[in-house]
Amino acid sequence: MARTVTIDGPAGVGKTTLAKRLAEHLNVGYMDTGAMYRGVAWYAGAGAWDWEEGRLKKVLQGMEFSLSGSGQNTILSLNGNPLDDRIRTEEVGMRASNMAKLPVVRDFLKKAQQRLGEKVSLVAEGRDMGTVVFPQAENKFFLDATPRVRAERRWAQLEEMGQKENFHTILETIQKRDQQDRNRKTAPLRPAEDAHVIDTGNKDIYEVFAEMLDCIRIGS
């Protein structure tokens, strides 16, 4: 049977790095659900969250996600096309946060994610993986850190990608997204009751990874 590990938390806590590393260690697929929301936002375009529901449903019906490979080499595709750095801008991130408030979008992606999880074992990274999408997951983690720490990490990440962004703009964006994600009516960002919560602000990536592996070993 397919095995699922979930990693939830706000932007900038190290979810992506840790999820890829964990998927590599376990030799399973890596599912970046944040990239799926970004993919929907990028595909639909600016302002799609204000569309009439019927129009949005029609566009969503024309989207199909797929996963191939495992670990660091997992590829997430939308309609057969691998998603790339075009979805990683701050603008697309805010679009994705707006789209994530819509029940029709969340329902569509929940079903898409569950279909992928039925086919292969994976590490699923997102904001409601342990609470909504995979409540039956064997291991659940929730990572957190202060907005400033996360903004610093995001700024450094964008610099490495060659994208020049203002630090204070990134901080304000993270704070705004936190407000939206933690207070939305549908699937607000919060730890699952049985999740292992880790504050990544005062730990490096190796310490957090070791803690996660310990939890998986104890639970297996």
The whole-number average pLDDT for the span 95-99 is 92
The whole-number average pLDDT for the span 163-188 is 86
d(CA 43, CA 160): 25
E strands within the chain?
Answer: 4-8, 29-32, 65-68, 75-78, 81-82, 122-126, 139-144, 196-199
Range name among 32-41, 59-68, 132-141, 177-186 with the lowest pLDDT average: 177-186
Residue pLDDT, tens place only, 69-92: 999 899 999 999 999 989 988 899
What is the per-residue pLDDT for 217?
Answer: 86
Contact 93, 181 (CB under 8 A): no
Q: What is the CATH number of domain 4-219?
A: 3.40.50.300
| pLDDT beyond 80 at 56 | yes
Instruction: Provide the pairing of β-strand 139-144 with 196-199.
Output: parallel
Contact 127, 8 (CB under 8 A): yes
What is the per-residue pLDDT for 117?
Answer: 93
Question: How many of the other CB atoms lie within 10 Å of CB of 35?
Answer: 21
The whole-number average pLDDT for the span 87-106 is 91
| pLDDT beyond 60 at 1 | no
Per-range mean pLDDT, top range of 78-87, 172-181, 210-219: 78-87
Record the tokens describing residue 42, joined without a space: 């990028």
Helix segments in 27-146, DSSP class H: 33-44, 53-61, 90-99, 103-119
Record the tokens describing residue 97, joined without a space: 């946060």
d(CA 93, CA 96): 5
* Percent above pLDDT 90 for the chain: 72
Closest CA to 151 of 166, 164, 131: 166
Per-range mean pLDDT, top range of 40-49, 151-160, 170-179: 40-49
The owner of tokens 């989207």 is: 63
| pLDDT beyond 80 at 172 | yes
d(CA 204, CA 66): 32
Residue pLDDT, tens place only, 12-22: 898 989 999 99
Instruction: Indicate yes or no: pTM above 0.85.
Output: no
Indicate the average pLDDT of the chain. Answer: 92
The whole-number average pLDDT for the span 137-162 is 91
